[in-house]
Structure 1
Amino acid sequence: MPSTAAAESVAPGVRRVRVPMPPGTGLPFSNAYLIADTDGRVHLIDPGSPTAEAREALRTALDGAPVASIVLTHLHADHSGGAADLAAETGAPVLVHERERAALRLIAAGLPAPDLKAWGVPAERHPELLAAAAVPTGPAAQLVDAAITGVLTDGELLDVPGRRLRVVGTPGHTDGHLCLHDEEAGLIFTGDHVLPTINSGLGLGGPTATNPIADYLASLDRVAELDRGTLTALPGHENPFTGLRERCAALAAHHLRRADEVAAHPGGTVWEAARTLTWTGGWDALAGFTLLSALRQTAQHRQFVAQRA
């Protein structure tokens, strides 16, 4: 496997940087993408984690090239954490979807802890879940929020000379997650909305006015419609892939199966319902953030089932 500091060409004028992630996060790297414009500048998608190793990987890949803009697919630190330092170094604007900016400000202000008692979580599991819930809040979110200088809207074209990169709002993973579609080049930058083998967690961007499961299914349909069989997906983790329409269908089927499982166990607490569901690594392997995500998704699926009844 190439070094995480190496930049490799994945399409004409587009290079990928495998940005190292901190140990213990479960994944070795996130993907940053460097897009060259016709003015000789670089537009960067998702600078990655806020670590010295991540910063060095980007510096090596950029090799002094002028950075014209920094676009964040979503607020999570493994995609947005390096934005503040990179913006300070380059003077480049940092852009997010308008719904993600609103979510970031809520998170930076401090979110209420999940009601573990109402979910029926055993008391001995409360400390690890409360610690996991606190990770996206506080100084880290404030730092990213402070670095943002502009917001993007659905259908907007980015100011990238020589390209037509269009914003596609894809709520679900977070409320303001976005993808970027380059129809002329046959590319779509999918962030964590669609990954080639991993099922992304949903509702991981703070409270939402709508149900994240329903939002995600609608977002999958929206992205799948863009694929005419020749689209290459450039995801936030793992490797570029084709067959986006089929992958979207598989992800939708996964969540609809989960909804059916939840519907089959309508009684009891969220904890009791979650224990009955089929989890990729098994229920007993869930802990900390993954357990909290499983419980949140169970609650979201319950709401989704009730809404579609």
Structure 2
Amino acid sequence: MRSRRRPYSEQRPTDVGGGVWSVPVPIPGNPLGYTLVYAVESPAGPVLVDAGWNHPEAWLALRDGLAAVGMDVREVRGVVVTHFHPDHAGLAGRVREESGAWIAMHEADVALVKLIRDVDEGAHRAFQADMLRRAGATGGEVAEVTAERPQPPALPDRTLGDGDLVDLPGRALRTVWTPGHTPGHICLHLEDTGRLFTGDHVLPGITPHIGVYPYDRTDVDPLSDFLDSLAKVAGLGSLEALPAHEWIFQDTAARAVEIRTHHEEKLLRLAALLAEAGEPLTIWETAGRMTWNRPWEELPAMLRGMAAGEAAAHLRTLEVRGVIRRTAEVGPVRYALHS
């Protein structure tokens, strides 16, 4: 029987065994509801896997949740962040202020944090607007979709690479680099218990956002990276998964295979969509014709922007595989099947 995602109101700090506790931290105003922050016990103090969104309500939930399982946030040794997104990295800086903890993240996401912190709000909005226009969005849509960005996360003190052990005395917590959702996304293999902290990489009921930004980049292929990362995780075996959202589940490998199959089917449907169109489509037009969890017209502006990023990632993979091509027309980039 498959579990279900429980609302935040039903979540409680929990001892999940093996010297690991989960603490649900809310994401105000977000349908995901909460991030599951994990505290891993060690003789030198606990290390957190992720930290949650930077918001007063979230901070109280983290602090009080740790206290409920017998931990003082001031004794936290470190925070290892699975990726730079604000629902994972947001409170890491606050924890560091309270405890002097180190913050660790994969080097590829550390580079992105530095970039984000160096770009002001005006430049960020200009970047978004230009990206949307090149994707084929209209002037009104550009104005509607362009959004304020969340507060940049704290700059980590330490970088992690694939295979590195996290500073967790008396235990073995190994970095597994799984790019796709972000360039520096990592899972963490707790080798002394046979468990895998999966971040957003492998979730039990949903799949993470895989996007290209700017939408028309030709130097990256994040969906292929993600598919390769899923195969890498599946190769670790049937580990118990401790994800950042939803619920803990068994057999990471089986779920990774399911998610790979989902995206391969999505790629086939996208190729068929382009064939049926009979003419080259912009990224924005393609996204508008794809199937989402609700009709395109009903998606909030921010979600339309994310849907376009997801469409772009799938188009990019089909382009790399030689299934589709970019046309040489002036104006927004367009895609068509190879003749």
Question: TM-score higher than 0.5 here?
Answer: yes
In 1, distance between residues paired with 2:297 and 2:206? 19
Choose 1 or 2 for highest CA Rg: 2
In 1, distance between residues paired with 2:316 and 2:212? 16
Which stretches of structure 1, 4 residues or longer, exceed 4 Å deviation after superposition? 1-5, 204-209
The secondary structure found in structure 2 opposite 1:216 is: helix
Q: Contact 1:70 / 1:83 at 8 angstroms: preserved in 2?
A: yes
**1:24-64, Cα deviation, whole Å (9 max, x unpaired):** x112211100000134x111111101111111122113332
Alignment of 1:71-110 (within 5 A): 71-110=80-119
Alignment of 1:179-258 (within 5 A): 179-203=187-211, 209-227=219-237, 229=238, 231-258=239-266
Report which stretch shifted further, 163-172 or 296-305.
296-305
The secondary structure found in structure 2 opposite 1:84 is: helix
1:271 corresponds to 2:284: yes
Counterpart of 1:52 in structure 2 is: 56
**1:100-128, Cα deviation, whole Å (9 max, x unpaired):** 10111122223522522221213222122
1:155 corresponds to 2:163: yes
The secondary structure found in structure 1 opposite 2:154 is: helix
In 2, distance between residues paired with 1:289 and 1:204? 15
In 1, distance between residues paired with 2:26 and 2:108? 27
Q: Which runs of 5+ in 2 are unaligned?
A: 1-5, 323-339
C-alpha change, 1:3 and 1:60, in structure 2 (3 Å) is farther
Q: TM-score, normalised by structure 1?
A: 0.89
TM-superposed deviation, 1:86: 0.9
1:31 corresponds to 2:36: yes
The secondary structure found in structure 2 opposite 1:15 is: strand
Q: TM-score, normalised by structure 2?
A: 0.82
The secondary structure found in structure 2 opposite 1:144 is: coil
Q: Contact 2:211 / 2:311 at 8 angstroms: preserved in 1?
A: no
Report which stretch shifted further, 275-284 or 97-106.
275-284
C-alpha change, 1:11 and 1:246, in structure 2 (3 Å) is same
In 1, distance between residues paired with 2:101 and 2:213? 25
In 2, distance between residues paired with 1:286 and 1:301? 19
Q: Percent identity?
A: 36
In 1, distance between residues paired with 2:157 and 2:263? 35
The secondary structure found in structure 1 opposite 2:247 is: coil
TM-superposed deviation, 1:205: 7.8
Q: Contact 2:175 / 2:188 at 8 angstroms: preserved in 1?
A: yes
TM-superposed deviation, 1:262: 2.4
Q: How many residues get paired? A: 297
Counterpart of 1:127 in structure 2 is: 143
**1:120-171, Cα deviation, whole Å (9 max, x unpaired):** 213222122111xx424xxx21x422xx111111100112122111001111
The secondary structure found in structure 1 opposite 2:241 is: strand
Counterpart of 2:17 in structure 1 is: 11
Q: Contact 1:174 / 1:205 at 8 angstroms: preserved in 2?
A: no
Q: Contact 1:258 / 1:277 at 8 angstroms: preserved in 2?
A: no
